[in-house]
Amino acid sequence: MRKSQASVILVLVVASVLLGSTAIALLTTQKTVPGTGSIKGVGLGVYWDLPCTNATSSLDFGQLEPGSSKNFTLYLKNEGNSALTLNMTSENWSPTNAIDYMALTWNREGQQIDPDDVTGFVITLSVSEDITGISSFSFDIILSGTG
């Protein structure tokens, strides 16, 4: 192969790689997902502050990007007269397939809280990078304690 042919082939290969990278960059999209959610404590008080003076009834997750997450630090107070084991569930997802693209977690599952005790916790909503077809969502968070 002659030097000029090798140069032409090299230029074509470099151009192909650059054009391919440009095409991939043009295919990248971004979607903002507005969010909301309500929170209910069963046998528990849920508060924004450690002195438990500012009760929490809803969380606004705001605009979430695919692949992102949002944390809230809240406080639970056992308002009963016996120790409780903590549990969190969610329900009433709208749209119903939103739960397929989002994960709701917290750092107190299965822990025990004594009567009148207060414990801080972090609740996190994570959004999959693969989320599609959802521009807004809502759901209920249920925090409960069993004795």
Q: Are residues 40 and 72 in the same domain?
A: yes
Give the pairing type, strands 112-113 and 84-94.
antiparallel
Domain that holds residue 71: 33-146
Tell me: do 62 and 115 sit in the same domain: yes
What local confidence, expressed as pLDDT, does residue 130 receive?
Answer: 94
Helix (H) or strand (E) run with residue 5 in it: helix 3-27
CATH of the domain at 107: 2.60.40
Verify that 140 and 95 share a domain, yes or no.
yes
99 and 41, same structural domain? Answer: yes
69 and 7 together in one domain: no
SS3 of 112-128: EECCCCEEEEEEEEEEC
Number of domains composing the chain = 2
Give me the mean pLDDT over the 95-101 stretch: 96
Query: Do 56 and 109 belong to one domain?
Result: yes
pLDDT (tens digit per residue) in 66-89: 999 999 999 999 998 889 999 999
